Amino acid sequence: MRHSSGPACRAWAAHRVRPLNALVAQFLRDWRIALRSRHEMTTPLMFFAVVVMLFPLAISPEPEQLAAIAPGVIWVLALLASLLSLEGLFKRDFSDGSLEQMVLSAEPLFLAVVGKLLAHWCAASLPLVIFAPIAALALSLPLEALSTLLASLLLGTPTVACLGAVGAALTVSLGRGGMLLALIVMPLYIPVLIFGTSATSFAVAGLSVAGPLAWLAVLAGLSLTLAPFAVSAAIRMACEE
Amino acid sequence: MSELSTPSNPRVLSSMPLCRAIGLRCERGGRELFSDLSFTLDRGVMLELRGPNGSGKSTLLRALAGLYPDVDGEIDTCDLAYFGHRGGLSPTLTVAENLAWFSGLAGTTADDVPGLLRRVGVPYPNRPLSELSAGQQRRVGLARLMMTGERKPLWLLDEPLTALDSAGEALVGELIDEHLACGGGVVCATHQDLPVVPGLRIELGH
Amino acid sequence: MSNQLSGLDRVFVELGEWLCGFGDGACMSGYGAYVWLSVLVTVVAIAINIWLPIRARRRWLARQRDEHELRAAQASGDRADA
Amino acid sequence: MGMLKTFWHRLGSPPWMYGIARPWMWGFGVLAAVLIPAGLIWGLFIAPPDYQQSDAFRIIYVHVPTAILAQSCYLMIGIAGFVHLVWRMKLADVVLQEALVIGASLTALALITGSVWGRPMWGTWWEWDARTTSMLILLFLYFGIYALREAIPRPDSRARASALLAVVGLINIPIIKYSVEWWRTLHQPSTFSMVEQPKMPAEMYLPLLVLVLGFYAFMGAVLLARIRVELLNRESGSSWAQAEARRLLSS
């Protein structure tokens, strides 16, 4: 079937207001929803805290051993926590029809998707980054490495949010997409995990952290520009039921 | 709402048709819903889709909206607003926030929201949507249609009269009349009779 | 190779020696077991990959045959009723 | 240019594809039946032993072709996904679905032969070497697409969703490979790794080339065979499939 928006109504679209209106409107909407359903922001944090506590009990309380695994543990848990928050990213909008309205918006879907991703990042990843120092202290990560850990988390989580959003959009129309989402998205997280953990362990070892952080920035740039297109395509597919 | 074209100053509009469908054919679950369906919707005309449940009315509407690709044939439409069973409003937000979001998506400004809400009979901009009744939520959906009417000349309405009282049905009639007067077009799938006389009528599923 | 041989390694070592009994082509200076195992696994995988489409094709044909007979039976049934 | 366009257009019609695939399938099949045994015999018996690993290195004649095939299969899946997303060609979805199974089996095979080769060389069944790790990740990418296809009931949304995931996966593969290799050089670089293979002399390299070509031909033949059966399955209601059924049943 060929479906196209014909030139019929160019006369109507004369008065565009502010092109970024869609992005800001979508961001504000999702940010308000995230604030209102606060449990969706705190659950990933609780999960993060509880599981961080398990490691000293499981492996050993000695600071040296904990410090060695601290970057890896924090980063792996940040990825797992992001999976929890991704589950509900599109599920609610899909069920109450908002996703359809996004697809049918006069403004390009790309803008709304970027707005939604930014809101998801602020609601899901920022609390993690704010909570990470406490987890780092709990795992006796050397203090000089803390700033690098935060930098790597800040640079890495946009990529995690964007790639996760692609997986979430692909599995939104499936009832129980949880495990499938993890299987689809985890292999794509590997580069972020590698560069994130090595940036922090470089800092622990006192080496220069410019390399891995630069790579994280490259990945963030790539995913922020490319992923919204994939997410838009996936959302259109989900709505075509 | 000044930019919105109101009945008092319908602007001169090109005569291009709003929606053209050629040779539409759809099969669902092995059963043929409709075949070789063609029509052209010009400005100021309402197309009414009639037919029993499961005759493909909603499927045709979703196909026109581009939300259902499994339809053979050619569809050419302009920007459109889809008013389906699922209201597309999020319950945790207030009415005003929902409308602000829609105006952002449609790229228009929504300055006179209280006036709009009074018009559709739900004058509580700051009340969360979850506290409103189903009929009131449908009315907020109608407010959404009115607000984006300027950018989206074609309205696709899927049984707009459900959950609406008699005053609501009259409201729907008024809105459709206004929209048609401003040079918009409406495709409406319905069971009850609409207070508006349809320019075109298609029977499905016989 | 590590001296304390685990169960699996002992199997490979003995297999290697047994293979060496068949001349150096099979012995591969002691590594015969590993080489021939991987070759065997590859050949089995190739065989499975070849066999799968053939089986799928046979199944499709069988289904067509059943449908064919069903239609023929119905046709003759209708003729009988008429 | 017209010829290419008609070829592209015809690719969309299953009966033409079903017909044209038959000679190519047999051609590739015969090619593989000649090249693979010849390459194996040449590699396993005639080629000189490696000075370092002696005869254990002969496993590369089986491991390297499957590893190369596994990756080029994913590349084909990514391209098929892209073609399906852009031109909505049903054939691309059939190619994607069938190449998925072949690719996953070849990746698993490469991992098995890789670990069997690791034992005599590194003394461990599994070594987190850059290539084995990225091969393992590739296997999970395959499983991801396979699981997504199994989870979506409707045929066309299943096709488009897995096509999109294939393209996204393909874009990420170079990044994943680079980051795994970077990660590998970060931790103690293994004394001997498959990557820095000393430049192989001709008589060792040629059988490998023959085997790689043989495996490509084998994959082509099996893929075309599977495509033909899948076309029959998907279009069994259509007239050409019924005609084919009658022809086969009568013979």
- Asked if C74 has any chain D CB less than 8 Å from its own CB, the reply is no
Q: What is the biggest distance separating any 2 CA atoms in chain D, rounded to whole angstroms?
A: 66
Q: What is the mean pLDDT of residues B132-137?
A: 89
Q: Which of A177, A187, A222 comes nearest D137 by C-beta?
A: A187
Helix (H, G, I), strand (E, B) or coil at A42: helix
Q: Which of D36, D49, D56 comes nearest C34 by C-beta?
A: D56
Greatest mean pLDDT among B32-46, B47-61, D160-174, D197-211: D160-174
* A171–D151 CB contact, under 8 Å: yes
Question: Which A positions 138-177 lie with beta carbon below 8 A of chain D?
Answer: 163, 166, 170-171, 173-174, 177
Host H or E run for residue D161: helix D155-186
Whether chains C and D touch (3+ CB pairs under 8 A) is answered by yes
Minimal CA separation from D116 to chain C, in Å: 6
Nearest to D36 by CA among D201, D212, D224, D228: D212
Helix (H, G, I), strand (E, B) or coil at B133: coil
Angle D14-41/D239-250 helices, nearest 10 degrees? 50
The torsion region of residue B81 among left (phi > 0), alpha (psi -120 to 50) and beta comes to beta
Question: Could you read off the pLDDT of B5-22 as tens digits, one per residue?
Answer: 333 334 445 667 888 888
Residue D11, token pair as written in the block? 């690719």
- Touching subunits of B (3+ CB pairs, under 8 Å) are A
CA–CA dist B161, B159 (Å, integer): 6
pLDDT band for A7, please (50, 70, 90 cuts). very low
Contacts of B100 in chain A (CB under 8 A): 25, 28-29
ipTM of the complex: 0.85
CB A148 within 8 A of CB A70: no
SS (H, E, C) C1-70: CCCCCCHHHHHHHHHHHHHHCCCHHHHHHHCHHHHHHHHHHHHHHHHHHHHHHHHHHHHHHHHHHHHHHH
Greatest mean pLDDT among A37-51, C23-37, D219-233: D219-233
**Pairing, β B185-189 against β B71-77:** unpaired
pLDDT band for A199, please (50, 70, 90 cuts). very high
Minimal CA separation from D183 to chain A, in Å: 7
Ordered alpha helix ranges (H), B75-202 = 95-106, 113-120, 134-148, 166-181
Q: Which residue type is seen at A51?
A: V
Question: What is residue D196's predicted lDDT score, i.e. its pLDDT?
Answer: 47
Question: What does the pLDDT profile of chain C (82 residues) look like in tens digits?
Answer: 445 667 887 888 888 888 878 777 777 777 778 888 889 999 999 999 999 999 999 999 999 889 888 888 888 887 777 6
Ordered alpha helix ranges (H), chain B = 57-65, 95-106, 113-120, 134-148, 166-181
Angle D2-11/D14-41 helices, nearest 10 degrees? 90
* D208 located within any domain: yes
CB A44 within 8 A of CB A128: yes
Using the structure block, give the residue that is written with the tokens 């493909």.
B56
Could you give the C-alpha distances from A88 to A91, A175, D13, in angstroms and in order? 5, 12, 41
Range of the domain at C62: 2-81
Could you give the C-alpha distances from A137 to A79, A163, D47, in angstroms and in order? 19, 29, 59
Minimal CA separation from C73 to chain D, in Å: 16
CB C31 within 8 A of CB D119: no
CB A181 within 8 A of CB D147: no
Whether chains B and A touch (3+ CB pairs under 8 A) is answered by yes
Say whether pTM exceeds 0.90: no
Residues 6+ apart with CB under 8 A from A96: B86, B87, B88, B89, B90, B91
Residues belonging to chain C? 82
The torsion region of residue B132 among left (phi > 0), alpha (psi -120 to 50) and beta comes to beta
Segments making up each domain of chain B, as ranges: 2-79+153-204, 90-151
Residue A111 has pLDDT above 60, yes or no: yes
Residue A21, token pair as written in the block? 């209106």
pLDDT band for B27, please (50, 70, 90 cuts). confident
Cβ atoms within 10 A of the Cβ of A13, count?
Answer: 16
Number of domains in chain A: 1
Q: Which residue type is seen at A143?
A: L
Question: What is residue C2's predicted lDDT score, i.e. its pLDDT?
Answer: 46
Query: Among B105-119, D11-25, D109-123, which is the least confidently predicted range?
Result: B105-119
DSSP state, residue A124: I
Number of domains in chain D: 1
Minimal CA separation from D158 to chain C, in Å: 21
Question: Could you read off the pLDDT of C58-77 as tens digits, one per residue?
Answer: 999 999 889 888 888 888 88
Cβ atoms within 10 A of the Cβ of A146, count?
Answer: 16
- Asked if A198 has any chain D CB less than 8 Å from its own CB, the reply is yes
Range of the domain at A106: 2-240
Range of the domain at D76: 63-235
* D117–C34 CB contact, under 8 Å: yes
pLDDT band for A5, please (50, 70, 90 cuts). very low
> According to CATH, what is the number of the domain B2-79+153-204?
3.40.50.300
**Pairing, β A2-5 against β B31-41:** unpaired
- Asked if C48 has any chain D CB less than 8 Å from its own CB, the reply is yes
Contacts of B153 in chain A (CB under 8 A): 8-9, 12
Question: What is residue D188's predicted lDDT score, i.e. its pLDDT?
Answer: 60
Q: What is the mean pLDDT of residues A69-85?
A: 92
Whether chains A and C touch (3+ CB pairs under 8 A) is answered by no
- Asked if C20 has any chain D CB less than 8 Å from its own CB, the reply is no
* D249–C1 CB contact, under 8 Å: no
* D37 located within any domain: no
Residues belonging to chain D? 251
Minimal CA separation from B50 to chain A, in Å: 22
* D153 located within any domain: yes
